[in-house]
Chains A and B, each alone.
Chain A
Amino acid sequence: MAQVIQYLLNGIMNGALYALIAVGIVSIFKSTKVVSFAHGHVIMFGAYFYFTFAVILPGAEFMPDWVAKWEPEWLLAYKEGAAMFSPKAAIAAWVSNLPRIVLGLVGSIVCNALLAVFIERAFMRPLLGQSSLSMILCTVGLIWVLEGSASLIWSADIDQVPPLGPNFPIRFTVFDSQVFLFSSSVVNFVIALILFIGLMLVLRYTRSGVAVRATAEDQSTAYAMGINVPAVFTTAWVVAATTGAIAGAILASRNGLSPTLGLFGLSVLAVVLMGGLDSFAGVFIASMIIGIFEAFTQWQFGGEYAEIVPYVLVLLVILWRPNGLMGQAEIERI
């Protein structure tokens, strides 16, 4: 029983991360009808920007010392006498890392937004009006461009980055059984959840959200109603890239940073298709299902089998519901 709860929780934590990445793919699809195969690699760029601003830049000569390691008087006093691996020590370590974490996050969000604008302007805009298949293939081409440039700019070695939240183990009992979690993964979970719900609310209740939904419904009518459709496209890419930057920072702090991070995007693509491309709710459910299934597979069959779980599940679901769990069926006319 203890292990069931343990792996269930692990699965939900992972599922939230899936949802955070998937939200980018869905927001691009909803407004532009393009499914970005390169989203994983945009995320990888976010992770590398985070690495640049949180590790490389604070270590540079011209930066003041407090950016790399912030140790005001009261923090030293607080840290006094804290045992290793205790929450107190972990929080103190986190606070002293805080300046570079903030710098890293801001830097990666800004840079990723610029990257998204560039991609949209340079590669996607010229394809406007062509079949969506060729736009999708264009994002496949982007995979290689992004992967190549990442290993050209940064080295292909695996690097470490500071986690977003304080990292200490949490132990508590549920139904008389011990459950164990890392606080940083709880923080990641909360961040993912807030971003996901926030985006959904923005799309639902703000003017720009309505513009995005109108564009998704019918581009030319949206144009006629005075909606700046190209601006909506750019916004969608920027939203995807900024959520991707945060997801990248989380992923990099969890699994380490390497150019193979981009492959994660493909399994998220499976998640998105399983949920239904145009449904935030469906994608959220699919993320949770896949996250939990992965955790249980890891428990029962070992980590190796976990890597094909998203693909097996998406195949099964697509056979049963060709448009994903909650996706809208496309109406075709002859």
Chain B
Amino acid sequence: MITGNFKTSYAADESLWNNWAKRYGFVLAVVFLLVLPLFADNYVLLLAGQIAIYVIAVTGVNVLVGYTGLMSLGHGAFFAVGAYTTVILHQYVEHLFPLITLLVSIVVAAGFGFLFGLPSLRVKGLYLAVATLSANFIILFFIRQDWAAPWTGGRQGIETPNAMFFGQEMLSNTQKYYFIIPICLAMVLFAQNLFRTRFGRALIGIRDNDHSAEILGISLYAYKLKSFAISAAYCGAAGSLWAYFFPAILPEDFSLNLSITLVVCLIAGGMGRTLGPVFGTLLILLIPEMLKIVSGWATGGDGRALIHFSSIRDIVFGLIIILFLIFEPMGLVSIWDRFWRVVARWPFSK
């Protein structure tokens, strides 16, 4: 709850940043992101770029899972489609302008999203989750095949091109960071904006009750398909940036693990909220780093503890999902809301 949030016109009520907290919060975030490279080292920038890419993908998942209420465990496949589209485009055209490949990847991924969405009218809930999961397996299987190896590198993976801006190759993490962050911001804002429109509200209607939505004149099939396409497009963009960001990609990068991680980020952050994906991704991707620090303290820098690191990380990941589901089903966003409510109403509320 934001206090001092009175409006004198409908335009103000409908605007993208409909209260001062959002407005200044956004400005602060932009300033922070702009100056971060000045005092962050290379590793932090690597993490930041990775987080930004994940935020794009999770925002895409949010459009489908959080706003439209369709379950998907196959978004890793769209991610893969975006990444491999970028790599393959660069095989045919050298020195392609990165934004063009990004756009093409988005379109191709959206096309795949359409294809995945086709069963979504007949198939619901869990059956849809397993259908998307199957599609994920099948797409990755074809990427891994030997006959696809000239384009995708097969199971050995493939080296990815560097982004070229006007003859200037982007090599350092700082440059890549400044390439990714504006795209990430734009895409998050686009999602925020989407749900102010008729289209976005229709999706929310479908989530809340699809039969009622249909009675109100929303074509379920058209909207579900479009929702699939948009959410796939987000993941395609993330995949394309992923290909630019990392020196090589492997089919295993986009396995079921990625699909589930995306959903987990969404749950941890909070479904159906713009900030949910941001918080969730920050939490999930920073956990391994925190664990590294904690295990460094606990063992005094003993290398032997690292053997168990990945197992412990898995357990912590799993426990986070479960504990969030049990104790905070609305995700980090609801903690955030509660915190600001207390601050705004202090001392009348706790």
Contacts and interface: CB of A to CB of B under 8 A. Distances in A.
B329 A130 contact: yes
A324 B125 CA distance: 13
B329 A144 contact: no
Contact of B123 (A145, A152, A318): A318
A152 B312 contact: yes
A145 B138 contact: no
B83 to A, nearest CB: 20
Interface in B296-350: 308, 310-322, 325-326, 329
A90 interface: no
A334 B313 contact: no
Contacts of A277: 126
Nearest to A147: B314
Contact of B212 (A140, A318, A334): A334
A308 B137 contact: yes
A147 B320 CA distance: 15
A226 interface: no
25 contacts: A126-B326, A137-B263, A138-B326, A140-B263, A141-B264, A142-B322, A144-B318, A144-B321, A148-B313, A148-B316, A148-B318, A151-B311, A152-B312, A152-B315, A270-B130, A308-B137, A311-B137, A312-B134, A314-B134, A315-B131, A315-B134, A315-B135, A322-B122, A323-B127, A334-B209
B211 interface: yes
B26 interface: no
B80 interface: no
Contacts of B320: 141
B265 interface: no
Contact of A319 (B123, B212, B315): B123
A133 interface: yes
B130 A144 contact: no
Nearest to A151: B311
Interface residues of A, number: 44
B350 to A, nearest CB: 25
Interface residues of B, number: 44
A152 B322 CA distance: 19
Given A143-B318, A148-B315, A311 B134 contact: yes
A322 B127 contact: yes
A127 interface: yes
B308 A137 contact: no
A251 interface: no
Interface in B105-127: 118-119, 122-127
Interface string A283-316: 0000000000000000000001001101110110
A141 B256 CA distance: 13
B122 A138 contact: no
B260 interface: yes
A273 interface: yes
A289 to B, nearest CB: 15
Contacts of A152: 308, 311-312, 315
Contacts of B321: 137-138, 140-141, 144
Interface of A: 35, 123, 126-127, 130, 132-134, 136-138, 140-149, 151-152, 266, 269-270, 273, 277, 304, 307-308, 310-312, 314-315, 318-319, 322-324, 330, 332, 334
Closest 6 CB pairs of A and B: A141-B321, A148-B314, A144-B318, A145-B318, A311-B134, A148-B315
Contact of B325 (A137, A314, A318, A319): A137
Nearest to A139: B322
B267 interface: yes
Contacts of B314: 144-145, 147-148, 151
Nearest to B136: A311
A141 B131 contact: no
Nearest to A150: B311
B133 interface: yes
Q: Which label, helix, strand, loop or mixed, suits the secondary structure of the A interface?
A: helix
Given A137-B263, A140-B264, A314-B134, 15 more contacts: A126-B326, A141-B264, A141-B317, A141-B322, A142-B322, A145-B322, A148-B318, A266-B133, A270-B130, A311-B137, A314-B130, A315-B135, A318-B119, A318-B130, A332-B211
Contacts of A319: 118-119, 122-123
Contacts of B127: 273, 318, 322-324
Contacts of A311: 133-135, 137-138
B267 A137 contact: yes
B347 to A, nearest CB: 33
Q: Name the residue among B125, B130, B320 with the largest chain A CB count within 10 angstroms.
A: B130
A157 to B, nearest CB: 13
B260 A133 contact: no
Contacts of B260: 140, 143
Given A141-B321, A145-B319, A152-B311, A136 B134 contact: no
Interface string B260-297: 10011001000000000000000000000000000000
Residue of B137, B260, B264, B313 contacting most chain A CB atoms (<10 Å): B137
B323 to A, nearest CB: 9
Most buried by A among B126, B313, B320: B126
A141 B319 CA distance: 7
Contacts of A137: 263, 267, 321, 325
A308 B138 contact: yes
A5 B284 CA distance: 51
A112 B269 CA distance: 33
Contact of A149 (B123, B126, B311, B329): B311
Contacts of B118: 319
Interface in B229-266: 256, 260, 263-264
B71 interface: yes
A330 B138 CA distance: 28
Given A137-B267, A141-B321, A311-B134, A148 B326 contact: no
